Chains A and B, each alone.
Chain A
Amino acid sequence: TKAYRYFAQGYRAERVTSEKLCRAQHELHFQAATYLCLLRSIREHVALHQEFHGKGERSVEESAGLVGLKLPQQPGGKGWEP
């Protein structure tokens, strides 16, 4: 993927460096760590969301089914729907 290639390129470019205080390496490492944290936490967040949240309302059909009723079938469509 592109993101992987970006980081791989960056690391390769930094292997050959003449700077004594290698700040850029530290920065790239930090960026990579931050990006990893981002991806990981988004994945966990979505997993938690699927597991625990977001069942939502029941549809009208299902709520009618709760009390044992059924919605009427109207072959022509309901009057107020286009």
Chain B
Amino acid sequence: MWRSCLRLRHAGRRLLNRPRAALTASAGREPNPLTPARAYAPPTERKRFYQNVSITQGEGGFEINLDHRKLKTPQAKLFTVPSEALAIAVATEWDSQQDTIKFYTMHLTTLCNTSLDNPTQRNKDQLIRAAVKFLDTDTLCYRVEEPATLVELQKNEWDPIIEWAEKRYDVEINSSTNIMGPSIPARTREVLISHLASYNMWALQGIEFVVTQLKSLVLTLALMDLRLTVEQAVLLSRLEEEYQIQKWGNIEWAHDYELQELRARTAAGTLFVHLCSESTTVKHKLLQQ
């Protein structure tokens, strides 16, 4: 719900500086119910109401404080993250807001809120199944038959990644050119399901987010295993679009906009997964003289 609210606002693409809509600073995030006679009343824009952002360690994990007030999720739960690095990143997000708070730029905060609230009430199995289901419609598996240069490009760019995935996980992933899609053997599915089951709940939210953004499970796996950088993964995901852009030209306000947004979301998702599934141990060893 939280993310869909953001998407609605973003898709509306309205700069929210209506004089009438700017009521008190303490107005909540719901649209003003008293705004009359308008089909769509944009919600009030929240100004930055805090000076300092700090991190404290509580019992469940790390919490964010905005000027002595604790940050809460949309469902009014206390905002706790398990990892300090993630808390630092979220605090930086809040800190980098100037004048007004642009929620659609705060991807890590959104991901944390989703993991804490779990608004769609999904458990681990459902998340894993949703991610593996994407394999049937994986971008890397759908090839075209013409034009020939695009076929070449797809073969050169996508085949190595598929081979890497096949070798790494010891599975079979076919690519297809027809509309029915690739036939993924059941063993592949099982192997990937058990691999994804090794991640914790938070990391799985992040993985599922990245899969939805890139429209490909194979690319997501490559990102998680550090085989690709975010820029490369986004490029591979948008391969056909980039091909068309090179051929027909770039439209800055559409193509670049989508590209930057995709990069931002994918980077946030990948960082989220890595920070949620890492564990650092520092062993101090003495020098052996």
Contacts of B85 in A (CB 8 A): 6, 31
Contact B92 A1 (CB under 8 A): yes
Point out the residue from A56, A81, A82 that lies within 8 Å of B16, measured CB to CB.
Answer: A56
State the Cβ distance, B261 to closest chain A Cβ, in Å: 5
Q: How many residues of chain B are within 8 Å of chain A by beta carbon? A: 44
Q: Does B43 contact A (CB under 8 A)?
A: no
State the Cβ distance, B56 to closest chain A Cβ, in Å: 13
Contacts of B282 in A (CB 8 A): 13
- A48-B252, A82-B34 given; A37·B229 CB < 8 A: yes
Contacts of A2 in B (CB 8 A): 55, 88, 91-92
CA distance A35 to B36 in the complex (A): 43
State the Cβ distance, B250 to closest chain A Cβ, in Å: 12
Contacts of B285 in A (CB 8 A): 18
Contacts of A1 in B (CB 8 A): 92, 95
Contact A27 B274 (CB under 8 A): yes
CA distance A52 to B13 in the complex (A): 10
Within B1-60, the residues touching A (CB, 8 Å) are 13-20, 34, 36, 42, 55
Binds A, one of B66-74, B149-157, B174-182, B263-271: B263-271
Interface majority SS (helix, strand, loop, mixed), chain B: helix
CA distance A73 to B120 in the complex (A): 48
Contacts of B268 in A (CB 8 A): 38
Which among A24, A26, A54 has the greatest number of chain B C-beta atoms within 10 A? A54
Contacts of B231 in A (CB 8 A): 37
Within A28-52, the residues touching B (CB, 8 Å) are 30-31, 33-35, 37-38, 41-42, 44-46, 48-49, 51-52
Contacts of A55 in B (CB 8 A): 15
Point out the residue from A13, A45, A81 that lies within 8 Å of B257, measured CB to CB.
Answer: A45
Contact A6 B19 (CB under 8 A): no
Contact B20 A45 (CB under 8 A): no
CA distance A1 to B91 in the complex (A): 10
CB closest chain-B residue, reference A51: B253
State the Cβ distance, A29 to closest chain B Cβ, in Å: 9
Within B80-123, the residues touching A (CB, 8 Å) are 84-85, 88-89, 91-92, 95, 102, 105, 107
Point out the residue from A41, A80, A81 that lies within 8 Å of B263, measured CB to CB.
Answer: A41
Contacts of A44 in B (CB 8 A): 256, 260
CA distance A27 to B284 in the complex (A): 20
Contact B278 A54 (CB under 8 A): no
State the Cβ distance, A8 to closest chain B Cβ, in Å: 12
- A6-B85, A56-B18 known, 18 other contacts, Cβ within 8 Å: A27-B274, A31-B275, A33-B229, A37-B231, A37-B263, A38-B271, A42-B105, A42-B264, A45-B260, A45-B264, A49-B257, A52-B252, A52-B253, A54-B13, A56-B42, A59-B19, A60-B20, A82-B34
Closest 3 CB pairs of A and B: A38-B267, A52-B253, A56-B14
